[in-house]
Amino acid sequence: MGCDCGDCEEMMQPYLDKVLSYEQMREAQEHLERCPPCEKRYRFEEDLRRYVRVAVEEPMSDGLKEKLAGLRSAD
C-alpha cells in the first residue's frame, strides 16, 4: 500500500465526518500531505459516499404524494 499507517485508516471516518479534535485534525492533514497513498484513499472514500448517496436515489411516486396529501385534515 506504500504506507503502513494503520492509524491513518482508523482516522479516516472520523476525519471525513469532521468529528476529530482540532489537534487530531491537524495531525491527519499533515500526514495526508506527506502520504499520497493515504490521501488517495481518503479522496476515494469521500467520492464513494457521494456516489452511494446518488446511486440509491429513487424518486417518490406521484401516487404516494397524492395519498399523503389526502391524509391532511383540511381540504
Site membership for other proteins, residue 13 (CB under 8 A): yes
* Chain mean position to CA 54: 12
- Which residue number, 21 or 73, has a Cβ lying nearer to other proteins? 73
Site membership for other proteins, residue 4 (CB under 8 A): no
Q: Which of 30, 5, 28 is nearest to 17 (CA)?
A: 28
Query: 57 in the Ramachandran plot: left (φ > 0), alpha (ψ -120 to 50) or beta?
Result: beta
Interface positions with other proteins (CB under 8 A)? 1, 6, 9-10, 12-13, 17, 19, 40-41, 43-45, 47-49, 51-53, 55-61, 64-65, 67-69, 71-74
